[in-house]
Amino acid sequence: MGKARIKAAVVGANGYAGAEVLRLLSAHPRVELVAATSRTHAGKPVEEAFPSLPVGLTFSDTAAKELKGCDVVFTALPQTAGARLVGELTDGGARVVDLSADYRFDDIGLYEKTYGVTHPRRELNDFAVYGLCEVERERIRKAKLVANPGCYVTSALLPLLPLAKKGLISDVIIDAKSGTSGAGRKSDEAYSYCTVDESFRAYGVFTHRHAPEISEKLGIPVLFTPHLLPIKRGILSTVYFRTNDPAAAESILKNAYVGERFVTYSDKLPEIAWAAHTNRCIYSARFDGERGIIVSVIDNLLKGAAGQAVQNMNIMFGFDEADGLPVCAPV
């Protein structure tokens, strides 16, 4: 007799992250996928809109009543667009993994300043848990609302947090590069094939909204500059910092995630291809006296979004953390 399955739904399943959650859940051994919502494609079979996703569902409009009875709901909507729905879902007994930034910040005022919005359900932030799986695992187990971290944020925080907690780093500069899927599924000439192909550019200098999220979680200021790579998916972050104890910092980096399946220290400098299409973060470090450099790679749609969201769900429901998640990259 098979193990019992939970009922799951994806709100905003037409975006890259939402569609990736849908794909992962469709093959999850402990999940029955019961609903996928999209205002753009409401009434269409999912497979008609996305032939690569033959999940046997028809897109519905976004409404809490359509999600009644779900054990877990993934919300993948723009900032504030799903905040009220998240409240209705948790009030109704569902557990929620939210892929927006609405509940990521401890300081709601900082969130509102960063995103230029007024938070519609500030009180929910009191019990939201930040979903950086390998760091907040015990809190995630009991959470009814998990705030999935940002993609750039994940690539930087996983190697940096163990150092920041020991007060070992300062003067942090994060130089991060992402594939174009990080910008989301939207019609914008800046992200068209002809614009990005054979080119490479910085954007969001001093204004990118992941910088305050990184700084808040580390407890120190950082300089953060993202860049757009002419590839579909993947992030490579090169992190520069100073440390007052290089030997301790190197030891911590090598041993912080020993035994973890999805976060790995490598003696070799990692490449995006090592982590692309997997839920892994692979990082390495080099030191020259008090100067340190970390290179960290993830798949922005998996460990940086949908994969980490499913990993959060696995933790919340006591499943094996690797259920439904890819560990190996294509060869």
Q: Which residues of 108-122 are buried (b: 16+ CB within 10 A; e: fewer)?
A: beebeebbeeebebe
281 is catalytic: no
Q: Is the separation of the CB atoms in 212 and 263 below 8 Å?
A: no
User: What are 215's two structure tokens?
Assistant: 């700084």
Residue type, 201: R
- Between CA 106 and CA 164, with CA 103 as vertex, the angle to 5 degrees is 40
Q: Which of 151, 194, 281, 328 is catalytic?
A: 151
Calpha distance 246→293 (Å, rounded)? 11
The sheet that has 72-75: what strands, in order across it? 31-37, 6-11, 72-75, 95-98, 145-147, 129-130
CA gap 37, 76 in Å, rounded: 10
Burial grade of 38 (CB within 10 A; 0-12, 13-18, 19 or more):
buried
The single residue listed with the structure tokens 């989301």 is 184
On the CB side of 205, CA atoms within 13 Å amount to 3
- Output helix, strand, coil percentages for the chain, rounded to the nearest 5: 35, 25, 45
* Positions marked catalytic: 151
